[in-house]
Structure 1
Amino acid sequence: MTTDAPPSFEYLPGAPDSPVILHVPHSAREIPAAVRSGIVLDDAGLERELDHITDAHTASLAGAAARASAVTPWLFVNRLSRLVVDPERFPDEREEMLAVGMGAVYTRTTHKEVLRPDGFDAEPLIERYFRPYARAMTEAVADRLAATGRAVIIDVHSYPSAPLPYELHGGGPRPEVCLGTDSFHTPPALLAAAREAFARCGETGLDSPFAGTYVPLEYYGKRAEVSALMVEIRRDTYMTEPGGPAGPGLQALAESLASLADAAQTTPSAPPSPSGA
């Protein structure tokens, strides 16, 4: 579970002419020893929390999809647990998940128990892990824009079949595949391609129980050439919950994700806003 200096993230090249980045932020369980020392859970409690909070096997899913794609997408994979930092959360008061102790650095668990003590100084973790990750992801998008004129971020996540206490919007539908969208960065053609690609895997829903997409702040709401879609897969469709092995459903999901990645090579970007923002 812990190592002294594991790599924070990995950016794996795809086809030079591919605009697609499969982003996998929450698949890892690794926690550096220095970070573990700031967590108050005992080893057994931490393992239980990792079972609940980790999007298990999503890196394997994205990797299999990349290998199956006709045009290989690029892969950006977080190699550390989101209990180190969550690269998709705001590190300030804009983050609504602060209400349950789950901003960029978590202080509470999925069951609202104490993870880090009151008064914990998150800034060293933000500086060491969050900001370099954000810069690298921004550079990855810039690289695809320079090479192809556009970028398509497909965010690969999973979620439990039953809501956990920390969820702020857990009362809605929990389809086999939830598609998270953004009004600016998710063009209709990309959403339609995702619905078609995942139709074989069961029901697809929209923005429930999790909504939105991940776009680096430098581009968010500003560059329509950057498209984004979040794919949230219900865990019971491909693994034993909460933290068990993958099952046969993983292969069908990988094939669907590969179909989406191939379709996204040619889906048009969202139209620019009238203001040109």
Structure 2
Amino acid sequence: MSRHSPPSFELLPGAGDSPAILHVPHGARDIPPDVRSGIVLNDEALERELDHITDAHTAELADSAAELSAVTPWRFVNRLSRLVVDPERFPDEREEMLTVGMGAVYTGTTHRGVLRPADTDPEPLIDRCFRPYAKAMTDAVADRLAATGRAVIVDVHSYPSAALPYELHGAGPRPPVCLGTDSFHTPPGLLAAAREAFGETGVDSPFSGTYVPLEFYRTEPRVSALMVEIRRDTYMTEPGGPAGLGLSRLASALARLVDALPR
């Protein structure tokens, strides 16, 4: 990217003895101009798509939780829209969201429209944005392992109150907070702490799984992970509107979760 482009991501330091990394992958709307030129939507349609696809105010939520926590967690924040690249997708044929044009580089929209031509080569954006992001997140996790002997990744997401057409598993429950788990990386104690912190929760519906860098995925038991998906009507005006009073309540809950992690 040019030196005038927004940064791709940012690691915000926490306490040296904190194993926690609050990961905010989908909270930004920025798209560099040269990437925008490859998107077929007009400006108005793109803004509508960003309203639907962006996990609005999640970076603010993580910031507030970090301020409230007794031991400050680390934060890894994507500063570019997921319409540039989605850092949480598999960059290959393992990614089931390819069926709706939403692999690492999206070609489809939330309403099953066209975002980019179907024959768009994803490799330039994967090389430019996806791989540097993945390496930096891998390094951040390795640093927590070296410093504390463990790392706990808490993914901070949001999701709409009504299912969007792109969702592959949108028919199930849509609780105020959905906790996404992984059979290898989500220990029972972490899930229990999240349930205690947030109150009314569900598990793995409508979204499931967690984000762990591939270097550690299903091989490093000292890396724990949990996805926190917050239903948007509990804290903001949908779609893409301002945050409401629920944001501070959720920040307090997230801080309670962080403080429940043993150091």
Q: Same fold (TM over 0.5)?
A: yes
- What is aligned with 2:171? 171
Aligned partners of 1:265, 1:79: CA distance in 2, in Å?
29
Please give the alpha-carbon distance, in whole angstroms, between the structure 1 residues aligned to 2:113 and 2:198.
Answer: 35
Given that residues 20 and 265 in structure 1 are in contact (C-alpha distance below 8 angstroms), is that contact kept between their aligned partners in structure 2? no
Could you tell me how far apart the structure 2 residues matched to 1:253 and 1:118 are?
A: 38
Displacement of 1:91? 1.0
CA contact (8 A) 1:4 1:33 kept: no
2:108 matches 1:96: no
CA distance in 1, matches of 2:146, 2:206: 35
- For residues 14-63 of structure 1, the C-alpha deviation after alignment (integer angstroms, 9 at most, x for no partner) is 00000000000000000000100000000000000000000000000000
Gapped regions of structure 1 (runs ≥ 5) = 267-277
Q: Which amino acid aligns with 1:149?
A: G
Q: Distance in 1 between matches of 2:61 and 2:88?
A: 19
Aligned counterparts, 1:205-224, within 5 A? 205-224=202-221
In the alignment, the residues of structure 2 paired with residue 156 and residue 250 of structure 1 have an alpha-carbon distance, to the nearest angstrom, of 13
SS in 1 for 2:15: coil
What residue in structure 2 maps to residue 257 of structure 1? 254
Instruction: Please name the residue that 2:133 is paired with.
Output: 133
Shift of 1:121: 1.3
The residue matched to 1:64 in structure 2 has which SS? helix
Aligned 1:65-104 pairs, distance under 5 A = 65-104=65-104
Conserved 8 A contact 1:100-1:112: yes
Matched AA of 2:48:
R
- Matching residue's letter, 1:240: T
Describe the superposition over 1:170-227 as per-residue Cα deviations: whole angstroms up to 9, x where unpaired.
000000000000000000000000000001xxx2000000000000000011111000
Instruction: Give the counterpart of 2:225 among 212, 221, 228.
Output: 228
Q: Extract structure 1 runs of 4+ deviating beyond 2 A.
A: none
Which residue is 1:61 aligned to? Answer: 61
Matched, 1:37 2:34: no
1: distance between equivalents of 2:83 and 2:262?
33
* Structure 1 residue identity aligned to 2:240: G
Q: After the TM superposition, which residues 112-127 of structure 1 pair with which residues of structure 2 at under 5 Å, given as runs?
A: 112-127=112-127
Distance 1:72 1:18, change over 3 A: same
Map of 1:161 onto structure 2:
161
- Extract unaligned runs of 5+ from structure 2: none
**C-alpha distance in structure 2 between counterparts of 1:118 and 1:161, whole Å:** 29
Q: CA RMSD in A?
A: 0.9
In 2, the alpha carbon distance for the partners of 1:4 and 1:140 equals 25
Residue type of the alignment partner of 2:62: A
Identify the range of structure 1 (113-122 vs 37-46) with the bigger mean alpha-carbon deviation.
Answer: 113-122
Cross-structure match for 1:239: 236
Measure how far apart 1:118 and its partner are: 2.5
Query: Residue type matched to 2:168 in 1?
Result: L
How many residues align structurally? 261
The answer on whether the counterparts of 1:4 and 1:32 sit within 8 Å (CA) in structure 2 is: no
Q: In structure 2, how many angstroms separate the alpha carbons of the residues matched to 1:222 and 1:252?
A: 35
User: Hey, what's the Cα distance between the residues in 2 that align with 1:71 and 1:46?
Assistant: 39
Deviations along 1:222-276, whole A, 9 cap, x unmatched? 111000000000000000000000000000000000000111234xxxxxxxxxx
Q: TM-score, normalised by structure 1?
A: 0.93
User: Which one-letter code corresponds to 1:132 in the other structure?
Assistant: P
Residue in 2 aligned with 1:275?
Answer: none
In structure 2, give the amino acid aligned to 1:213. T
* Alpha-carbon separation, structure 2, partners of 1:169 and 1:51: 21
Look up the equivalent residue of 1:264 and give its one-letter code. Answer: L
SS at match of 1:31: coil
Match of 2:245 among 244, 248, 272: 248
* Cα displacement (A) at 1:4: 5.1
Aligned ranges for residues 3-18 of structure 1 at < 5 Å?
A: 5-18=5-18
| Distance in 1, Cα, partners of 2:240 & 2:149 | 40
Counterpart position of 1:21: 21
